[in-house]
Amino acid sequence: MSKTNVRPGGGGNEAGRALNEKYTGGDAWGSSGEGSSGTSIFDPVLCELSYRWFCPQGGLILDPFAGGSVRGIVASKLGRRYFGCDLRAEQVEANRDQAARICDEPLPVWHCGDSRDIVIHAAGTEADFLFSCPPYADLEVYSDDPLDLSTLAYSEFREAYSQIVAESAKLLKNDRFACFVVGEVRGKNGNYYGFVPDTIEAFRRAGLAFYNEAILVTSVGSLPIRAGRQFDSARKFGKTHQNVLVFVKGNAKRATETIGPVEFGEIKDESAIGEVDKNEESQWGEKL
């Protein structure tokens, strides 16, 4: 389904920009921290750590909401294979063009199609890691396509979203991990939809267990000013985080053994991505 990467920390902090430079030479950035296709940038710091921690070297990453290019490019640079599915042909084409300029083997693969049919689009795929950042309900509407999840009422969105989680989980090998980066969204009445617990429930129904949770703190920016106004008028707190939800299909101990030791250090192709100060890498890790 269509998904532009919304609200990640990488688009609003210097660490994310530095690591984006590391992987893409800054090619993903347009004005105001947006990608060249008009999409905001998924946090490459979180992306790298997730792959190193939860996907074996040479493993295949499945992404059913592949609106942006960062997850595919980071996978390639870290020696992982990547299959992403997105509804919008123009976004898929932009991702492919960027990867062709930046990546060597293994090249990330993007497929244009409805992720409700991902079992068909990715037929034969046996994923080692399910990783994505889904659309945040109707927070941002990406197209006028009636198949686009962002155009749906939340009850319809939740049903389609749960279907995509279930279908994607079928392509995940046993004894493997999955991770979705999500955040709460308010409806027009000002109340939260419950997107985070709905995501957990969708994975549980798909047969996965809720295994880990982390909080990704995003850039504060002008939030204190905006939050002050909305708190005064409606008692709404400002929000500067996303939920990083990790699930396991099968046995967590066997999944961990399959991944092997935790990876540290630089990726191999330094000539393509430039040098990065190790002290800065340590600071990025602390920020997560």
The 10s digit of each residue's pLDDT in 199-223 is 999 999 999 999 999 999 877 666 6
For 88, residues 6+ apart whose C-beta sits below 8 A from its C-beta are: 2, 67, 112, 142, 143, 145, 148
Cα–Cα distance, 159 to 178 (Å, whole number): 20
> What local confidence, expressed as pLDDT, does residue 220 receive?
66
Mean pLDDT of the chain: 80
**What are the structural domain ranges in the chain?**
9-287
> What local confidence, expressed as pLDDT, does residue 37 receive?
43
The 10s digit of each residue's pLDDT in 66-75 is 988 999 999 9
DSSP state of 149: G
Find the distance separating the first CA and the last CA of the chain, reported in whole Å: 28
Provide the whole-model pTM: 0.78
* Packing angle, helices 14-24 and 70-77, rounded to 10: 60
> What local confidence, expressed as pLDDT, does residue 265 receive?
60
DSSP state of 68: S
**What are 249's strand-pairing partners?**
176
The hierarchical CATH code for the domain 9-287 is 3.40.50.150
